[in-house]
Structure 1
Amino acid sequence: MTAWIVLPVSLAAFSITGIWIVYAMAVMNHHVCPVENWFYNVTCSEETAKPGFPKTCCTIQDIPLISKCGSYPPESCLFSLIGNMGAFMVVMVCLLRYAQIIEHSHHCWTNTSGLVSGFCNALGLVMVGNFQVDHAKTLHYVGAGVAFPAGLLFVCLQCVLTYRVAITTLDYWMAHMRVALATGSLVSLVLSGIFFIHESFVLQHAAAICEWVFTVVILVFYGTFTYEFGTVTSETMLAGLQRNLPHGAGVILGGGSRGLGGGATKGLKSPGGSSTSTHLNCTPESIAMF
């Protein structure tokens, strides 16, 4: 077990807790209406809600979309922090997962695509968090248009990779669970997009709920990497670095060195366990340096 298991859990726990705190702050500050409210008006001539209580007169501008909850201070400050911190942790998770797949199998376009989609997801999160929808709508929508599809693509690719490196029965159960999460995220994102383009208050509100479901499911998916990250070691990072070094470059390990194409391969650990296996070949233990 390594300390890296904390990273995926921290990403999921910090982000999910943070966005719900942002939502609660927005409701209490009358910036959005509560998610259980389904009744909206074209205009509101009076506001009867008391300070510290939810709004009672709601318009389409008060629909509790995640972005809308983080549009105004003070909750916008926390929303930006969550976006930036979350993006950083997403990048770290994607890098570790990329290196781990290389360590357990081989370099493939699926793994590279997963890394790129994860980075795009992080970039979109930064834009969404720092450009609020009511103040920089175009940039905010560009960020959302990058973050949501990229996040969905990332989880789908990781489902494929999970099956590819699975060894034990528990590994396959994790793959099945991730497919269920990916399916839920796909359905919720599609429904959110369909509902969002309509002018109906009810459908707009349903779009907000689907958006919340999508976000939480994606974050839970990231949290499942705790299962594999218990086996991450320094060799995992070296596997990723070795693959990306220029031809002929290398790292000196221990007292000796071997050529890039030579040397014995090491036994592989189950992606989520501590036992070793020779199920697949991986990169050499050491590589030469000029």
Structure 2
Amino acid sequence: MWGYLSLLPAFLAFWATAGIWTVFSLAVANKAVNLTEGFPYISRCGNSPPQSCIFSQVLNLGAALAAWTCILRYHQLRDWGVGKWPNQLILWTGLLCTLGTSIVGNFQVRRSRPAQPWCTVVVLHTWSLRSASAACEWVVAMLLFILFGLFAVDFSSLDGCTLCLQPGPGSLSPPPASPISLKVQH
């Protein structure tokens, strides 16, 4: 089971990359964006149907897969002895980003500015270099997909995780000794 979970980040990277480029292709084919006016922003490609529906699905499934990847990484870092506070900060930051991704996918608004105001993208946009700004947005998105794909390398050695039981509020009896190591046979 854990062997298959190690492939999750690679699947996420493939799904997101293929999905975003499919949305781009549909936007060009449906003339929702005009390449003679410059390279479009990712969010501009996913503004109108039918590509907006695919854009939503790609971002929603990508957010769900990214959330699961963040949870797996949290458990992996915990088992490696990373401190509780930094590990939880990483987990909650990742989950907040996945929530934002899902919101962007579900509430599309026609806009000419980039969906994510990254510093370089904003500077290029304000200098009227919209094509360069949009290209930077696409490069950053592809680098993010590569980053998630690289988690597959870290997860390839994952053969289980440790489940730590803690007593809940109002529990009558103490839980069994913690941590309990769960090993799954492949």
Q: Do both share a fold (TM > 0.5)?
A: yes
Q: Is 1:123–2:99 an aligned residue pair?
A: yes
Please list the CA deviations of residues 245-276 of structure 1 after superposition, one character each: whole Å capped at 9, or x if unmatched: 648864xxxxxx53x4xxxxxxxxxxxxxxxx
Matches within 5 A, 1:242-253: 242=164, 246=168, 250=175
Q: Report which of the two structures shows the higher radius of gyration computed on alpha carbons.
A: 1
Match of 1:194 among 112, 120, 123: 123
Name stretches of at least 5 consecutive residues in structure 2 with no aligned partner. Answer: none
For the residues of structure 1 that align with 2:166 and 2:49, how far apart are their CA atoms? 43
Q: What code does the residue aligned with 1:25 have?
A: L
For the residues of structure 2 that align with 1:127 and 1:26, how far apart are their CA atoms? 21
Name stretches of at least 5 consecutive residues in structure 1 with no aligned partner. Answer: 35-55, 149-188, 251-256, 261-282
Structure 1 window deviating more from structure 2 (224-233 vs 119-128): it is 224-233
Match of 1:222 among 148, 151, 174: 148
Q: Is 1:213–2:142 an aligned residue pair?
A: no
Q: What code does the residue aligned with 1:95 have?
A: I
Please list the CA deviations of residues 201-220 of structure 1 after superposition, one character each: whole Å capped at 9, or x if unmatched: xx111110000011110111
Question: 1:110 offset after TM fit, Å?
Answer: 1.9
Using the size of structure 2 for normalisation, the TM-score is 0.83
Percent identity (aligned): 32
CA contact (8 A) 1:65 1:211 kept: yes
Q: Is 1:108–2:71 an aligned residue pair?
A: no
For the residues of structure 2 that align with 1:112 and 1:243, how far apart are their CA atoms? 17
For the residues of structure 1 that align with 2:29 and 2:90, how far apart are their CA atoms? 39
Question: 1:196 offset after TM fit, Å?
Answer: 2.3
* Shift in CA distance, 195/12, structure 1 to aligned 2, threshold 3 Å: same
* Shift in CA distance, 100/31, structure 1 to aligned 2, threshold 3 Å: same
CA contact (8 A) 1:66 1:212 kept: yes
Higher RCO by CA contacts (8 Å cutoff, separation 6 or greater)? 2
Structure 1: 4+ residue segments shifted above 6 A? none
Please list the CA deviations of residues 95-134 of structure 1 after superposition, one character each: whole Å capped at 9, or x if unmatched: 0000000011143322111111111110111111111121
Aligned length: 177
Which residue does 2:58 correspond to in 1? 82
For the residues of structure 1 that align with 2:94 and 2:174, how far apart are their CA atoms? 27
Which residue does 1:28 correspond to in 2? 29
For the residues of structure 2 that align with 1:129 and 1:231, how far apart are their CA atoms? 33
For the residues of structure 2 that align with 1:249 and 1:125, how far apart are their CA atoms? 40
Question: 1:243 offset after TM fit, Å?
Answer: 7.0
Q: What code does the residue aligned with 2:151 have?
A: F
CA contact (8 A) 1:80 1:130 kept: yes
For the residues of structure 2 that align with 1:244 and 1:94, how far apart are their CA atoms? 22
For the residues of structure 2 that align with 1:249 and 1:72, how far apart are their CA atoms? 56
Matches within 5 A, 1:175-190: 189-190=118-119
